[in-house]
Amino acid sequence: MLFWISVFLLARQSGLTQGHPDLLIRAPETSCDCTINSCRTLFDIIWGCLVTIFACTWVALHQNVPDPKLGWFSLLMRKLRMMLVTIIAPEVVVGFAARQLVSARWISKEFNVSKTHGFFCNMGGFVSEEGHPVSRRKQLPAYISAIRKIKRADIEDKSKGDALSKGVAIAQGLWFVTQCFAHVSQHLPLTELEVATLAFAVLSVVIRLLWLHKPLDVQQPIIAARSEVEIDPLQGEDITPMNNSPSLSGKIVDAIFGDYQEYSSLSSTSVPSFYSIEIGGENLVNFAGVFCVGSIFGGIRCAAWNTVFPSMAEMWIWRTSSVFITAYPVLIFLAAFGVRQTPDTDIARAVLRSFMMVGSVVYILCRLSLIVLSFTTLRALPPRSFVDVNWSNYIPHL
């Protein structure tokens, strides 16, 4: 409720600042007086937003442990792909982070280890003596004795980030959010790029909090020797690799729900990119993390509803795209709930799958349209967009 009130206030204040968008006529406005403390340039706006987006999509990513045999270029491309997913569909990463947090907490409570140990299990950080990830729930009892002997400090030592650096990163995201609300409170217009960046900043704070205890950018796993009195319960499973790679729809479902049915830990040297140990009952977390967060991400874009756009076409593309990416996750949630109540679930699931595939294509196009519009609308900004926040209103004697 507080979130939607904030979006309403942002949209309302933006409308009061810039006038009615349907007229597409800029009223005379007081321009920046170009003093040191009150002006900002177009470069300042773009640079500040790009740095924040980079911090939200690259620095904030806590990837699973990669295949030890990958070279630097493959590792770079792996992270670039994850960054692209975060830009186009950040709610998928939020759902992934929430799923890992729930699983890490369960492991911590069930086996009396730290949450850092739980996250390290989820990210494929512990491997058997043969080099295969200990990444299945029924494997843990056979390796838990060795896992307990590994100190939490040794795991954190592999992390490229500590609590201080993560805290600074969270503060950076909160600072950008504060700046946006300060602009609104002083009746200064936000650019479409700043509204788009605001959405990334809010979700970045959520992602960082979910991954607060997850090691960052670990490149090499830790060997956990199996207990002498235990055998690996997966030894009897068929480990023949699948000949056919998953389809695009299968990869999307795997990423959203973490349902890697074709993944075999005994024939792999690393876990998939969006993998977490299955503990049962994670569907609710997935729905909350993916669909609700997706709706929130779109709702923030709706805050630019009343801003002045350079053309009518750009205004309606922004509005239509914002409404679609806000409503689509809710529609998917309702459709999935309806499928569970339908007796003939096979037909219902086929219809839902088709709806998701068509909707996902439109969803991606809307996201890309919003990204493009965030930059094209910078060509015609109102003069007051270059007026900076007067912080002395909040901090006396500044």
Between 314 and 356, residue with greater pLDDT: 314
Within a domain: 164: yes
390-394: average pLDDT: 73
Tokens of 251: 């990869």
Within a domain: 152: no
Within a domain: 266: no
Please give the Cα distance from 8 to 306 (Å, whole number): 11
Condensed to tens digits (0 to 9), the pLDDT of residues 191-221 reads 889 988 988 888 888 888 889 889 988 998 9
Within a domain: 49: yes
Confidence grade of residue 3 (pLDDT, cut at 50, 70, 90): very low
The maximal CA–CA distance of the chain, rounded, in angstroms, is 81
**Scanning the structure block, which residue is given the tokens 């519009």?**
373
302-315: average pLDDT: 86
Q: Give SS3 for 44.
A: helix
Between 397 and 27, residue with greater pLDDT: 397
Residues belonging to the chain: 398
Please give the Cα distance from 359 to 332 (Å, whole number): 9
Q: What is the pLDDT of residue 329?
A: 78
Condensed to tens digits (0 to 9), the pLDDT of residues 120-154 reads 999 999 998 888 898 888 888 889 989 999 999 99
Within a domain: 272: no
Contacts for 17 with CB less than 8 Å, ≥ 6 apart: 187, 188, 189, 384
266-274: average pLDDT: 85
Contacts for 28 with CB less than 8 Å, ≥ 6 apart: none
Question: pTM here?
Answer: 0.77
Contacts 24+ apart (CB under 8 A), 310-317: 310/376, 310/377, 310/379, 310/380, 311/24, 312/24, 314/373, 314/376, 314/377, 315/21, 315/24, 317/369, 317/373
Q: Domain range for residue 331? A: 2-20+41-112+159-217+286-389
Within a domain: 140: no
Number of domains the chain contains: 1
10-37: average pLDDT: 45
Please give the Cα distance from 345 to 328 (Å, whole number): 22
84-103: average pLDDT: 84
Within a domain: 327: yes
For residue 358, give the DSSP letter.
H
Confidence grade of residue 56 (pLDDT, cut at 50, 70, 90): confident
Please give the Cα distance from 305 to 288 (Å, whole number): 26
Please give the Cα distance from 331 to 202 (Å, whole number): 23
- Alpha helices for the chain (secondary structure H): 2-18, 42-54, 72-88, 90-111, 115-122, 140-149, 152-158, 163-185, 192-210, 248-257, 283-286, 293-301, 312-341, 345-376
- The partner residues of 223 in beta bridges, in order of sequence, read 127
Give yes or no for a contact between 11 and 304, defined as CB atoms under 8 angstroms apart.
yes
Within a domain: 199: yes
**Scanning the structure block, which residue is given the tokens 């960054």?**
83
Residue of 291, 294, 251 lying closest to 275 (CA atoms) = 251
Q: Using N-to-C axis directions, what is the helix angle for 312-341 and 293-301, rounded to 10°?
A: 160
Give yes or no for a contact between 274 and 255, defined as CB atoms under 8 angstroms apart.
yes
Residue 18 has pLDDT above 60, yes or no: no
Q: Average per-residue pLDDT in the chain?
A: 78
